[in-house]
Structure 1
Amino acid sequence: MAEIEVSVEINASIDKVWEIVSDLDMEPEFWKGTKEVRNISKNGNYVTREVTIAFRDQKCMQEIKIEPKEKIEIKFTKGIIDGTKIITLTSIDEKTILKAKWDIKLTGMMGMFTGVIKKHIENGTIQALQKIKEQTER
Protein backbone atom coordinates (compact mmCIF):
# COMPACT_ATOMS: atom_id res chain seq x y z
CA MET A 1 0.00 0.00 0.00
CA ALA A 2 1.08 3.57 -0.67
CA GLU A 3 0.41 5.91 2.22
CA ILE A 4 0.49 9.62 1.50
CA GLU A 5 -0.35 12.45 3.88
CA VAL A 6 -0.29 16.12 2.88
CA SER A 7 -1.69 19.14 4.69
CA VAL A 8 -1.92 22.88 4.21
CA GLU A 9 -2.87 25.78 6.47
CA ILE A 10 -5.48 28.06 4.93
CA ASN A 11 -6.20 31.60 6.11
CA ALA A 12 -9.96 31.17 5.94
CA SER A 13 -12.81 29.83 8.03
CA ILE A 14 -13.72 26.17 7.95
CA ASP A 15 -17.06 27.18 6.38
CA LYS A 16 -15.33 28.78 3.40
CA VAL A 17 -12.94 25.84 2.89
CA TRP A 18 -15.80 23.35 3.25
CA GLU A 19 -17.78 25.18 0.57
CA ILE A 20 -15.06 24.32 -1.94
CA VAL A 21 -13.98 20.82 -0.89
CA SER A 22 -17.52 19.53 -0.41
CA ASP A 23 -18.48 20.41 -4.00
CA LEU A 24 -17.55 16.95 -5.30
CA ASP A 25 -18.31 17.88 -8.92
CA MET A 26 -15.48 20.45 -8.81
CA GLU A 27 -12.83 17.84 -8.03
CA PRO A 28 -11.31 17.77 -11.56
CA GLU A 29 -10.61 21.52 -11.29
CA PHE A 30 -8.31 20.98 -8.31
CA TRP A 31 -7.09 17.38 -8.55
CA LYS A 32 -5.19 16.92 -11.82
CA GLY A 33 -5.36 13.14 -11.46
CA THR A 34 -9.16 13.26 -11.71
CA LYS A 35 -10.31 13.91 -15.26
CA GLU A 36 -14.06 13.44 -14.90
CA VAL A 37 -16.68 12.53 -12.30
CA ARG A 38 -20.10 11.03 -12.87
CA ASN A 39 -22.45 10.70 -9.93
CA ILE A 40 -24.41 7.45 -9.88
CA SER A 41 -26.46 7.96 -6.73
CA LYS A 42 -26.79 10.17 -3.66
CA ASN A 43 -28.47 9.18 -0.43
CA GLY A 44 -28.07 11.77 2.32
CA ASN A 45 -24.35 12.05 3.06
CA TYR A 46 -23.43 9.08 0.86
CA VAL A 47 -22.49 9.35 -2.81
CA THR A 48 -21.64 6.62 -5.30
CA ARG A 49 -19.79 7.79 -8.39
CA GLU A 50 -17.58 6.81 -11.27
CA VAL A 51 -14.37 8.75 -11.81
CA THR A 52 -12.06 8.80 -14.79
CA ILE A 53 -8.48 9.16 -13.61
CA ALA A 54 -5.57 10.56 -15.60
CA PHE A 55 -3.68 7.26 -15.43
CA ARG A 56 -4.55 5.76 -18.82
CA ASP A 57 -8.11 7.19 -18.61
CA GLN A 58 -9.04 4.37 -16.25
CA LYS A 59 -12.48 4.38 -14.64
CA CYS A 60 -12.89 3.71 -10.93
CA MET A 61 -15.95 3.41 -8.74
CA GLN A 62 -16.04 5.28 -5.46
CA GLU A 63 -18.27 5.32 -2.40
CA ILE A 64 -18.10 8.62 -0.54
CA LYS A 65 -19.16 9.40 3.01
CA ILE A 66 -19.50 13.09 3.85
CA GLU A 67 -19.25 14.34 7.43
CA PRO A 68 -20.10 18.05 7.04
CA LYS A 69 -17.28 20.47 7.87
CA GLU A 70 -15.14 17.62 9.19
CA LYS A 71 -14.31 14.89 6.70
CA ILE A 72 -14.87 13.40 3.25
CA GLU A 73 -14.01 9.72 3.07
CA ILE A 74 -13.58 8.31 -0.43
CA LYS A 75 -13.36 4.56 -0.83
CA PHE A 76 -12.27 3.11 -4.18
CA THR A 77 -14.51 0.08 -4.71
CA LYS A 78 -13.80 -1.00 -8.29
CA GLY A 79 -11.11 -0.29 -10.85
CA ILE A 80 -7.34 0.05 -10.96
CA ILE A 81 -7.12 1.70 -7.52
CA ASP A 82 -7.99 0.01 -4.23
CA GLY A 83 -8.04 1.88 -0.93
CA THR A 84 -9.08 5.25 0.46
CA LYS A 85 -8.54 8.98 0.22
CA ILE A 86 -9.67 10.94 3.27
CA ILE A 87 -9.97 14.73 3.32
CA THR A 88 -10.18 16.30 6.79
CA LEU A 89 -10.67 19.86 7.98
CA THR A 90 -9.62 21.20 11.37
CA SER A 91 -10.32 24.72 12.57
CA ILE A 92 -7.61 26.55 14.53
CA ASP A 93 -8.49 30.13 15.44
CA GLU A 94 -9.46 31.82 12.15
CA LYS A 95 -7.52 29.29 10.05
CA THR A 96 -8.26 25.85 8.68
CA ILE A 97 -5.93 22.88 8.36
CA LEU A 98 -6.85 20.89 5.26
CA LYS A 99 -5.37 17.40 5.12
CA ALA A 100 -5.50 14.67 2.50
CA LYS A 101 -4.51 11.13 3.43
CA TRP A 102 -4.25 8.32 0.88
CA ASP A 103 -3.94 4.63 1.65
CA ILE A 104 -4.05 2.94 -1.75
CA LYS A 105 -2.56 0.37 -4.07
CA LEU A 106 -2.99 -0.48 -7.72
CA THR A 107 -4.93 -3.66 -8.37
CA GLY A 108 -4.03 -6.78 -10.31
CA MET A 109 -0.85 -6.85 -12.38
CA MET A 110 -0.54 -3.07 -11.97
CA GLY A 111 0.13 -3.59 -8.25
CA MET A 112 3.86 -3.70 -8.91
CA PHE A 113 3.71 -0.05 -10.02
CA THR A 114 2.13 1.26 -6.79
CA GLY A 115 5.49 2.65 -5.61
CA VAL A 116 6.06 4.38 -8.94
CA ILE A 117 2.72 6.21 -8.91
CA LYS A 118 3.03 7.17 -5.23
CA LYS A 119 5.19 10.20 -6.05
CA HIS A 120 2.79 11.32 -8.81
CA ILE A 121 -0.17 11.13 -6.44
CA GLU A 122 1.75 12.93 -3.71
CA ASN A 123 2.74 15.75 -6.07
CA GLY A 124 -0.83 15.98 -7.40
CA THR A 125 -2.14 16.17 -3.83
CA ILE A 126 0.27 18.96 -2.92
CA GLN A 127 -0.85 20.89 -6.02
CA ALA A 128 -4.55 20.26 -5.30
CA LEU A 129 -4.35 21.49 -1.72
CA GLN A 130 -2.40 24.55 -2.85
CA LYS A 131 -5.05 25.34 -5.49
CA ILE A 132 -7.81 24.97 -2.89
CA LYS A 133 -5.84 27.28 -0.55
CA GLU A 134 -5.43 29.91 -3.28
CA GLN A 135 -9.09 29.71 -4.28
CA THR A 136 -10.26 29.99 -0.68
CA GLU A 137 -7.98 32.87 0.31
CA ARG A 138 -9.14 35.09 -2.59
Structure 2
Amino acid sequence: MIHIVSKIMINSSAKKVWSVISAIERDPYFWKGLERVRNTSHGRNVFTREVTLSNSDKCYQKVTLFPIEGIHIKWTRGSIIGIKDILITQIGNQTLLEVEMNYEIQGIAQLRSRRISEELQNESELALQLIKEDIEQIEPFQIKDRKQWVDLIRE
Protein backbone atom coordinates (compact mmCIF):
# COMPACT_ATOMS: atom_id res chain seq x y z
CA MET A 1 0.00 0.00 0.00
CA ILE A 2 1.34 3.42 -0.98
CA HIS A 3 0.24 6.43 1.06
CA ILE A 4 1.14 9.95 -0.15
CA VAL A 5 0.17 13.32 1.36
CA SER A 6 1.16 16.68 -0.16
CA LYS A 7 0.03 20.21 0.73
CA ILE A 8 0.55 23.74 -0.54
CA MET A 9 -0.77 27.20 0.37
CA ILE A 10 -2.07 29.25 -2.53
CA ASN A 11 -2.54 33.02 -2.43
CA SER A 12 -6.05 32.96 -3.83
CA SER A 13 -9.64 32.18 -2.94
CA ALA A 14 -11.01 28.65 -2.79
CA LYS A 15 -13.34 29.56 -5.66
CA LYS A 16 -10.39 30.39 -7.94
CA VAL A 17 -8.55 27.21 -6.91
CA TRP A 18 -11.71 25.22 -7.63
CA SER A 19 -12.03 26.76 -11.10
CA VAL A 20 -8.56 25.47 -11.99
CA ILE A 21 -8.63 21.98 -10.46
CA SER A 22 -12.20 21.20 -11.53
CA ALA A 23 -11.18 21.51 -15.20
CA ILE A 24 -10.25 17.82 -15.06
CA GLU A 25 -9.51 17.63 -18.79
CA ARG A 26 -6.31 19.59 -17.95
CA ASP A 27 -5.06 16.90 -15.54
CA PRO A 28 -2.20 15.77 -17.84
CA TYR A 29 -0.80 19.32 -17.70
CA PHE A 30 -0.54 19.25 -13.91
CA TRP A 31 -0.08 15.52 -13.26
CA LYS A 32 2.98 14.53 -15.29
CA GLY A 33 2.36 10.79 -14.81
CA LEU A 34 -0.76 11.10 -16.98
CA GLU A 35 -0.21 11.03 -20.69
CA ARG A 36 -3.85 11.33 -21.75
CA VAL A 37 -7.39 11.21 -20.30
CA ARG A 38 -10.58 10.33 -22.13
CA ASN A 39 -14.00 10.68 -20.53
CA THR A 40 -16.11 7.60 -21.25
CA SER A 41 -19.26 8.77 -19.45
CA HIS A 42 -20.40 11.52 -17.15
CA GLY A 43 -23.30 12.60 -15.06
CA ARG A 44 -23.75 15.86 -13.23
CA ASN A 45 -20.64 15.67 -11.00
CA VAL A 46 -19.42 12.13 -11.73
CA PHE A 47 -17.13 11.17 -14.60
CA THR A 48 -15.81 7.79 -15.69
CA ARG A 49 -12.62 8.00 -17.68
CA GLU A 50 -9.82 6.05 -19.24
CA VAL A 51 -6.36 7.28 -18.28
CA THR A 52 -3.17 6.51 -20.18
CA LEU A 53 -0.14 6.70 -17.92
CA SER A 54 3.26 7.92 -19.10
CA ASN A 55 4.41 4.29 -19.33
CA SER A 56 1.48 3.58 -21.74
CA ASP A 57 -0.53 1.59 -19.15
CA LYS A 58 -4.28 2.15 -19.31
CA CYS A 59 -6.20 2.65 -16.08
CA TYR A 60 -9.80 3.53 -15.35
CA GLN A 61 -11.10 6.11 -12.90
CA LYS A 62 -14.36 7.29 -11.42
CA VAL A 63 -14.04 11.03 -10.67
CA THR A 64 -16.51 12.75 -8.34
CA LEU A 65 -16.49 16.55 -8.10
CA PHE A 66 -17.55 18.26 -4.87
CA PRO A 67 -17.82 21.96 -5.83
CA ILE A 68 -15.40 24.20 -3.92
CA GLU A 69 -14.57 21.34 -1.53
CA GLY A 70 -12.54 18.91 -3.59
CA ILE A 71 -12.30 15.98 -5.96
CA HIS A 72 -12.50 12.26 -5.19
CA ILE A 73 -10.80 9.98 -7.72
CA LYS A 74 -11.21 6.22 -7.48
CA TRP A 75 -8.83 4.17 -9.62
CA THR A 76 -10.93 1.12 -10.49
CA ARG A 77 -8.90 -0.93 -13.01
CA GLY A 78 -5.33 -1.07 -14.23
CA SER A 79 -1.86 -1.05 -12.68
CA ILE A 80 -3.05 1.41 -10.00
CA ILE A 81 -6.01 0.67 -7.73
CA GLY A 82 -7.01 3.06 -4.97
CA ILE A 83 -8.11 6.55 -4.05
CA LYS A 84 -6.80 10.08 -4.68
CA ASP A 85 -8.52 12.93 -2.83
CA ILE A 86 -7.85 16.58 -3.62
CA LEU A 87 -9.13 18.85 -0.86
CA ILE A 88 -9.59 22.63 -0.75
CA THR A 89 -9.67 24.60 2.52
CA GLN A 90 -10.05 28.40 2.63
CA ILE A 91 -7.83 29.92 5.35
CA GLY A 92 -8.24 33.67 5.47
CA ASN A 93 -7.16 35.11 2.10
CA GLN A 94 -5.32 31.92 1.18
CA THR A 95 -6.34 28.41 0.26
CA LEU A 96 -4.79 25.16 1.43
CA LEU A 97 -4.70 22.57 -1.34
CA GLU A 98 -4.09 19.00 -0.18
CA VAL A 99 -3.63 15.75 -2.06
CA GLU A 100 -3.92 12.37 -0.35
CA MET A 101 -3.30 9.16 -2.28
CA ASN A 102 -3.81 5.59 -1.11
CA TYR A 103 -2.80 3.19 -3.87
CA GLU A 104 -2.09 -0.46 -4.42
CA ILE A 105 0.16 -1.27 -7.34
CA GLN A 106 -0.96 -4.23 -9.47
CA GLY A 107 0.89 -6.65 -11.74
CA ILE A 108 4.59 -6.53 -12.54
CA ALA A 109 4.82 -2.93 -11.29
CA GLN A 110 4.62 -4.32 -7.72
CA LEU A 111 8.31 -5.14 -8.03
CA ARG A 112 9.05 -1.42 -8.27
CA SER A 113 6.55 -0.23 -5.66
CA ARG A 114 9.16 1.61 -3.59
CA ARG A 115 10.42 3.53 -6.63
CA ILE A 116 6.85 4.15 -7.78
CA SER A 117 6.05 5.57 -4.33
CA GLU A 118 8.89 8.08 -4.68
CA GLU A 119 7.75 8.99 -8.19
CA LEU A 120 4.17 9.53 -7.01
CA GLN A 121 5.37 11.77 -4.14
CA ASN A 122 7.41 13.86 -6.60
CA GLU A 123 4.55 14.00 -9.09
CA SER A 124 2.14 15.14 -6.37
CA GLU A 125 4.43 17.93 -5.20
CA LEU A 126 5.09 19.08 -8.77
CA ALA A 127 1.36 19.07 -9.57
CA LEU A 128 0.59 21.26 -6.56
CA GLN A 129 3.36 23.67 -7.54
CA LEU A 130 2.09 23.85 -11.13
CA ILE A 131 -1.46 24.48 -9.91
CA LYS A 132 -0.18 27.24 -7.60
CA GLU A 133 1.78 28.87 -10.44
CA ASP A 134 -1.24 28.65 -12.76
CA ILE A 135 -3.52 30.30 -10.18
CA GLU A 136 -1.10 32.94 -8.95
CA GLN A 137 0.18 33.62 -12.48
CA ILE A 138 3.76 33.44 -11.30
CA GLU A 139 6.03 34.68 -14.04
CA PRO A 140 9.57 33.37 -14.33
CA PHE A 141 12.20 35.82 -13.15
CA GLN A 142 13.23 38.07 -16.02
CA ILE A 143 16.95 38.58 -16.44
CA LYS A 144 17.84 41.98 -17.82
CA ASP A 145 20.89 42.56 -19.95
CA ARG A 146 23.69 43.95 -17.87
CA LYS A 147 25.13 47.24 -18.93
CA GLN A 148 28.83 47.84 -19.22
CA TRP A 149 30.32 50.36 -16.80
CA VAL A 150 30.92 52.66 -19.75
CA ASP A 151 27.18 52.65 -20.54
CA LEU A 152 26.41 53.64 -16.94
CA ILE A 153 28.74 56.66 -17.13
CA ARG A 154 27.11 57.89 -20.35
CA GLU A 155 23.60 57.88 -18.83
TM-score above 0.5: yes
Q: 1:8 maps to what in 2?
A: 8
CA distance in 2, matches of 1:11, 1:44: 29
Instruction: Give the distance between the partners of 1:25 and 1:137, measured in 2 at CA.
Output: 20
For structure 2, the 5+ residue unaligned runs are 138-155
Structure 1 residue 113 displacement after superposition: 2.0
Deviates more, 1:103-112 or 1:20-29: 103-112
Whether 1:19 aligns to 2:42 is no
Over residues 86-136 of structure 1, what are the superposed CA-to-partner deviations in whole Å (9 max), with x where a residue is unaligned?
Answer: 100000011100011110021133223222200001001101100100110
Structure 2 partner of 1:130: 129
Partner of 2:84: 85
User: Distance between the aligned counterparts of 2:81 and 2:111, measured in 1?
Assistant: 13
- Tell me the distance in 1 between the aligned counterparts of 2:110 and 2:84: 17
Q: Which residue of 2 aligns with 1:76?
A: 75
Matched, 1:118 2:117: yes
SS class of match (1:57) = coil
Aligned residues: 137
* Partner SS state of residue 111, structure 1: helix
Q: Trace 1:19-38 onto structure 2 (pairs within 5 A).
A: 19-38=19-38
* Residue 57 (1) aligns with residue 56 (2): yes
Q: Under a length normalisation based on structure 2, what TM-score does the superposition of the two structures give?
A: 0.86
2: distance between equivalents of 1:110 and 1:135? 32
Q: Cα RMSD over matched residues? A: 0.9
- For 1:41, the equivalent position in structure 2 comes to 41
What SS is found at the alignment partner of 1:44? coil
Deviations 1:48-84 (A, max 9, x none): 0001111x21010000111111010100001000111
Deviation at 1:41, TM superposition (A): 0.6
Cα separation, 2, equivalents of 1:110 and 1:36: 20
CA distance in 2 between counterparts of 1:57 and 1:14 reads 34
Any idea what SS the aligned residue of 2:12 has? coil
| Percent pairwise identity | 38
- 3-state SS of the aligned residue for 2:120? helix
CA distance in 1, matches of 2:36, 2:107: 23
Structure 1 residue ranges, 4+ long, deviating more than 6 angstroms after superposition: none
Gaps of 5+ in 1: none
